[in-house]
Structures are given as structure tokens and as C-alpha cells.
Chains A and B, each alone.
Chain A
Amino acid sequence: QVQLQESGPGLVKPSQTLSLTCTVSGGSISSGDHYWTWIRQHPGRGLEFIGYIYHTGSTYYNPSLKSRVSISVDTSKNQFSLRLSSLTAADTAVYYCARESGDSGWYGFRDYWGQGTLVTVSS
């Protein structure tokens, strides 16, 4: 059974950089069968795609966040990480990591998720 687990600080000051790590167990990031993604959910609101990474290091970022986002992968640890800079209160959200899967040649549904971590941006 694939499991994902986010880790990182729950409280970050404005203007600082958020760093979160997602540890994958029960499956290998290196398999190349999936993409690995970050999604966030503002309190009481919907789901926002942040970006994804492939095991080769290839990435895609949401254009609205692109200037502030970086996603990296460490296949030796079976982890991938998110960095989001220049934080404001608007970045307060639950951050999820998830696995992107495909079917019949179409990728993009999220079949396994971490439990999520609440990040609060406040001084």
C-alpha cells in the first residue's frame, strides 16, 4: 500500500520561505510510472494545484505561483520537496502531497494523498 507523509513547520513568518518534504513508502518514485505533486487547500475552500515533479527532475508549476515555487526530488530517500518563498498570509493553507496517476494514456488523477499539513503564515 502506497503511503505519503508530509513533514515541515506548521508556522512560518511572512516573507520567509516554506520548506515541506513528502516521504513516499510502499512504492518507488524512481519507477517512473507516476508524477508527484503538491496541492494546497485554503481554509474552508477548494483545492489548488501547486506543481509536480517527475523522477527525472522534470517539473511543472502553477503559473500563478511559478515565480515563488520550487519542487525537487531525492530518489535515494524516496522523497520530494516543496519550497515556496516570499510567504504572505494568503499562503496559509493545508498542503498536501499526492501521486499523479494515469489510465489509457491520460495522466492527472491523484490516487494517493498524504494526510496534509496545515501551514500558517503569521508573525
Chain B
Amino acid sequence: EIVMTQSPATLSVSPGDRATLSCRASQSVSSTLAWYQQKPGQAPRLLIYGASTRATGIPARFSGSGSGTEFTLTISSLQSEDFAVYYCQQYNIWPPGTFGQGTKVEIK
């Protein structure tokens, strides 16, 4: 099973600042990596697939990069609605397509 490790567990950021979230795979997943945003009481929302392709309706301030085992989600200028938990998920080995444990982005 591919293990996905996200860091940091919690990221404290001021509104308007840049946020950089990391995700590492235990083995290469090429570019088969997705990012999701989850707000309290809501389902996850797909942000990025293919490591860098924004899903429909996702603002340009969200960008994804990386390939192989190292990936990054960048939020260029945090808005109030961006404070949430973010999950990465590989689908190179699918099923099951394993998730990371999440990074919580909180207001500094």
C-alpha cells in the first residue's frame, strides 16, 4: 500500500498570505495525485487532479505541483473561505487510492 504523508499537520497563516502544503508518497505515483478541501460539516471538494490541473470552478489562487513522490499545494493569497483541512490522495494504485492524513490551515 502506498502511504501518503502530509506536512505540516497544522499551518497557521494570515489572510492574504501564501500557504504551501506538502504531500509525500512512499513510492512514486507519477502525476496521479489529487488535492481536496474539506470544511467542517462538509464533504471533501476536489481542487486539483493530475498533480496540477484545477478542477472545474476552482479559483486560480490554488495551484498544484510535483511528480513522483513530492507534491505541493499552494494557495497564493489566503481568503477567509480557504481555512479548512486539505487532503492529498494518490490514484496511481487504484483502487484504493489512498489519502494523506490532512493538513489543517488555520487563521494565524
The answer to whether B25 has its CB under 8 Å from any CB of chain A is: no
The answer to whether B107 has its CB under 8 Å from any CB of chain A is: no
Count of A residues near B, CB < 8 Å? Answer: 24
Distance, CA A46 to CA B9, complexed state (A)? 12
User: Closest approach, in angstroms, between the C-beta of B9 and any C-beta of chain A?
Assistant: 12
Q: Mark B30-71, 1 if CB is under 8 A from A, else 0.
A: 001010100000111110011001010000000000000000
The answer to whether A36 has its CB under 8 Å from any CB of chain B is: no
Do A52 and B95 contact each other (CB < 8 Å), given the known contacts A96-B43, A115-B42? yes
Beta-carbon nearest neighbor of A49 in chain B: B96
Do A108 and B91 contact each other (CB < 8 Å), given the known contacts A96-B43, A113-B44, A116-B43? yes
Of B16-24, B73-81, B97-105, the one with at least 4 CB within 8 A of chain A: B97-105
**Inter-chain contact B96/A104, CB cutoff 8 Å:** no
Distance, CA A98 to CA B55, complexed state (A)? 15
Chain B residues, CB < 8 A from A62: 95-96
Beta-carbon nearest neighbor of A114 in chain B: B43
The answer to whether B83 has its CB under 8 Å from any CB of chain A is: no
User: Closest approach, in angstroms, between the C-beta of B3 and any C-beta of chain A?
Assistant: 12
Distance, CA A100 to CA B94, complexed state (A)? 10
Distance, CA A114 to CA B87, complexed state (A)? 17
Beta-carbon nearest neighbor of A35 in chain B: B95
Q: A62-B95, A110-B34, A116-B42 are in contact. List 18 more A-B contacts (CB 8 A).
A: A46-B101, A46-B102, A49-B95, A52-B95, A60-B95, A96-B43, A106-B32, A106-B50, A106-B92, A107-B94, A108-B89, A108-B94, A109-B34, A109-B49, A110-B44, A112-B46, A114-B43, A115-B43
